[in-house]
Structure 1
């Protein structure tokens, strides 16, 4: 027994030593901020300077000790003489230290070196209480190399828990934090507060069970409710002057049957550092495990949506410890993620938990995409999925027997065959058949940013196998009247196959994305549903390396002058073609930059999205852009002018067209949408 006690005591001492060696803003007694320029060029950037701001006012020697506690030394501005402009943000971001100095390396007798936000060095008495700049020698994480060793680890205290993450050149990173438990399969998730003195957040948690998982795959689990946080600042929790950052919460797409918050496309380091926001990605249950509803049983669906709601509860309770402002949370998502955001806006349980919303390429309108925004009743859902009971051998007249049987089925067997993939009206989380937008809709005092890709529907059609246009339309479940409609003429192309594909792509985009996206924005503005509504359409795209449907339709044509593609030539701007731009991950994901505008456009898009999160407007503050040295975005914003919200009566400039030369114009394909039955007034009921 004595031996056991001794071992336990030794183990506890070891844990204490480990925790003591991991720097924590509370133990350092100071807010910590990673400050860098981040032009999205990654390691090929000419601006490599990165510093950690220690905000506590202290003597030069104490500041050096704080840097040492981080495993760093005081910042040496001599190494970065050509890059000092990035310090200007210290003046913009501080209300109380606009003319302050910061300790840096260098001493001489009784004087020590300090630097201003304008990059001017001055010798001051070494006992002067000043904030400090420490070196940040951590490498930029990448797909090929991520260093989570103890040298770079940083701890955060929230409640009674200590969460250990790490930093790289651009941000503090916390990956794989469990936010909820699932008491049993087909039960609603339960908020799980962090507990324990040594919670590791150094790697992603498992993704939720989906079709791509295989038996024994460690990265897949039913116990999958994890989130990831990237932040530029960690507060000490002791200063009321700490400025909390706006928070962006990403909900991934994947048709409600696939995807995860650990997809590196959505790495949040660029948005956090360049956009000065806290970025969060989450997992939520998918397919039958997340959305199965069966009438006459206790299965009411919407489990995945409730997971998202639970994640918001966790963030409202704990994001402050990671530098985020719980009252400035913007939820955003693409495809099924956008449909999730729409459902959260529709839910009386969820809509008060966030302060802004961005919906990218919400599927809505024709065919199967209708269920993403027009919710089925449980009876309708049951009619679509009841064959699952025969497939699993769980058919029974006893609802308890059905539940017990389904809970015992191998989870991978629930990802094939009949799969539920849609929200339902459960009369609790969702009480209406769609997001109310008409005259009697609840007024949501938050801004909305919403839009599509120019050819969003292109991946949902295919190259024809016949020249019979009517037959092609029918085979792809598109309205056959289009074959003889002057509103949809067959475009000219080198061959009939390309012409018909161009036509079906246009129709699919209108009927499954564009028309009802425009109706959503126009109706919301008309009825003042949101504080402001902003609408966009991307006319430039960079298709994901992992998803290029109907190749090479969604890729810019390659030429001798542009071996990786010439974006100035015609190509389809397809579904998911904005994601690298929004997250600033072109270089990180290994994409080959096609021309000088790819990175410039990504800078502009990322700066617009994060501006919306910070201020409710997608037009970045010119003073902020100047302070950050974001000259490319400054030039594009000046050329494009202010991105105005959609007006109640419309002014012919409702839509922001996003390209390297952004502009505003009227709604697109208005007559075509009317002919399809999805006119601007579709949601005005």
Structure 2
């Protein structure tokens, strides 16, 4: 008995180093939104005797897992083997289950799923049930303490959730955010107000809130560095005029539970309330960017208390969120506060896209934007123009014909008029990933009203010279001549607004050794979000009698925002799987994004996938070539990942077309 006892105590020492005072939510998340509760979750708590473990579970409103049966019997091995993979438990570690002891022996399950017994007085980690599904039941709530703050969130089946955390004081209009000084006791069980935005009556100027989803809370003790999770800091899109971190499309629960990462989403001030700049020497714009910086600073200071590693923060965003990431890559206020960056569908180049990567000066903003706003509000001749604008209702301001929605080169938050990829300024030396949808531009053009080619090009800010170029032929395979013309203008818009300069960004980043690594992709499968489905149904898989949910094998435009459901695993239950690939592609996509956050490499570690039991992703990834980074050696070869079924490596696309538009690979120098 003595060797057995010594071995058990040895395991307990290891467990104490990992679990004491901490709670880990274990959930096998296959992302199947049609069966969201098929897989139970359990809570892993620190070492104790069987009796004290029962008490620990009870304090959480739970009990020791009564038995390992049903779906849990299939899930338990990957749930516990992942603890071995991370080095948080030894293979064969036992965990208390079953609240009913049998004499001096109590029931256990080990990391291989074997049911056994051990002395009830031995200290072992324990598995508690998890029935948390309410924000108001106190035992389902979780309180985190950090630097004097007491922040109470709650748990559900997938993660611990902390919603509506104020990261700054309520901002005075057109002033930069200041650190939060409010109540030290924060109720984070519900989302905070969204920021005032056009077309909506909801919203407040008191809107600087962020949200956190995490699979692990360290408890009252300082978590060892090795136990902290990678952090993914999401910046929403919406043209800098709309959006919220509380959008259910960006719910962090699936990513937190499947990817084993901490997810943060944030609000930031929008439209004229977030981006007005005047030539008065003090209203210098970029208030929304400053809000993002303040949220990022808050995360750096407090995220360890939520199980996140402040040294492994990946900022990522889509559309205007990608534009925000791009601005932060050169911001002295942000550099040093993140380790990696993902730009998803960053706009750059022609027409509407220009200002997302080529920034106005304050003088230009004054002339093009502020002057019309001042005129519309009768503030042009006011003695104090700013005071006059402050008296105007916020909802009125964001619904004027002209609004401020532009990042400006203010010299403080954004030093230069574009990201200095030619080594004329500082760029964050981080791991970088950049990509676009195959037909990103199709969302930013209208259907032509006639077959006048020059008129159609002018309407979307594309050069009319395209009309005479054999590089942009008008196809003749659509139902009408107007549809054929749309196909051509969509191609030109995708090249001129997304693909060309995003490829050039990756190229210059490599040529000048600006980033620690660069990964480029083109997304060639999409599921359009119902809330943003421009030119419908062009961005939707076509419906026919044999494919009532849409035929993904047929041609359709892979449009802006079409990757979001896949990356976040947030397809609503009201939307069907269109074929046998939708769910597996969602699994692979999320595994890819979260792998980049954890390891700065988007190729998931096969050992990680095996330990997690993600057999579908493992099989699919094994059948396709690995994703190679962009390097000086392959930049003229196959540096681009085409994300589809199956994915592949390919060369940068449309280079002749990009050269014609004036956006060659070396555009940035």
Please classify the TM superposition score into its range, dividing by the shorter chain length: over 0.9
Q: How far did 1:510 drift? A: 0.4
Match of 1:110 among 86, 104, 110: 104
- Deviation above 4 Å: which 4+ runs of structure 1? none
**1:533 corresponds to which residue?**
518
Q: What residue number does 1:19 align with?
A: none
1:441–1:529: 8 Å Cα contact kept in structure 2? no
Match of 2:193 among 188, 198, 206: 206
> Quick one: structure 1 residues 375 and 476, their matched pair in 2 at CA, closer, same or farther if it must change by over 3 Å?
closer
Q: Which residue in the other structure is 1:41 paired with?
A: 32
| 1:17 matched residue in structure 2 | none
Shift of 1:439: 4.4
Give TM-score, length-normalised by structure 1. 0.91
Matches within 5 A, 1:117-516: 117-139=111-133, 148-192=136-180, 195-197=183-185, 199-214=186-201, 217=202, 220-241=203-224, 243-385=227-369, 386-396=371-381, 398=383, 401-415=384-398, 416-442=400-426, 444-493=428-477, 494-516=479-501
Q: Which runs of 5+ in 1 are unaligned?
A: 1-24, 140-145
Residue 584 of structure 1: how far off its partner (Å): 0.3
Output the CA distance in 1 between the equivalents of 2:583 and 2:42. Answer: 23
Instruction: Answer whether contact 1:38 1:47 (CA < 8 A) is retained.
Output: no
Q: 2:48 aligns with which of 33, 58, 78?
A: 58
Map of 1:6 onto structure 2: none
1:605 aligns with 2:589: yes
**Deviation per CA, 1:536-580, whole angstroms, max 9, x where unpaired?**
000000000111110100000112222111111100000000000
Asked if the contact 2:141/2:154 (under 8 Å) is kept, the reply is yes
1:567 aligned partner: 552
- Displacement of 1:153 in angstroms is 1.5
Alpha-carbon distance, 1:652 to partner: 1.2
Secondary structure of 1:603's aligned partner: helix
1:240 to 1:153, Cα distance in 2 relative to 1, 3 A: closer
Deviation of the 1:348 alpha carbon: 1.4
Separation in structure 2 between the aligned mates of residue 29 and residue 627 of structure 1, nearest angstrom: 23
Partner of 1:82: 74
Counterparts in 2 of 1:325 and 1:389: CA distance versus 1, 3 Å: same
Q: Matches of 1:627 and 1:196 in 2, distance apart? A: 40
Q: Secondary structure at the residue paired with 1:625?
A: helix
Contact kept? 1:342, 1:359, Cα under 8 Å: yes
Pairwise CA distance, 1:149: 3.4
Name the SS of the counterpart of 1:382 in structure 2.
helix
Structure 2 portions without partners, runs of 5+: 1-15
| SS of residue in 2 equivalent to 1:156 | strand
Residue 11 of structure 1 is matched in structure 2 by: none
Q: CA RMSD in A?
A: 1.7
1-side partners of 2:654 and 2:33: how far apart? 39
**Paired residue secondary structure (1:412):** helix
How far apart are residue 302 of structure 1 and its match?
0.5
Q: Counterpart in 2 of 1:636?
A: 620
SS in 2 for 1:644: coil
Q: Provide closer, same or farther for how the CA distance between residues 442 and 160 of structure 1 changes in structure 2, counting only shifts above 3 A.
A: closer
TM-score (norm 2): 0.93
The more displaced of 238-247 and 335-344 is 238-247
Offset of residue 81 of structure 1: 2.4
* Kept in 1: contact 2:169–2:182 (CA 8 A): no
Deviates more, 1:249-258 or 1:416-425: 416-425
- Aligned in 2, Cα 1:245/1:543: closer, same or farther, shift over 3 Å? same
* Counterparts in 2 of 1:258 and 1:608: CA distance versus 1, 3 Å: same
Contact 2:620 2:646 in 1 (8 A): yes
Give secondary structure in 2 for the equivalent of 1:203: coil
Alpha carbons 2:345, 2:440 under 8 Å: kept: yes
SS in 2 for 1:507: helix
Corresponding residue for 2:647? 662
> SS of the residue aligned with 2:487?
helix
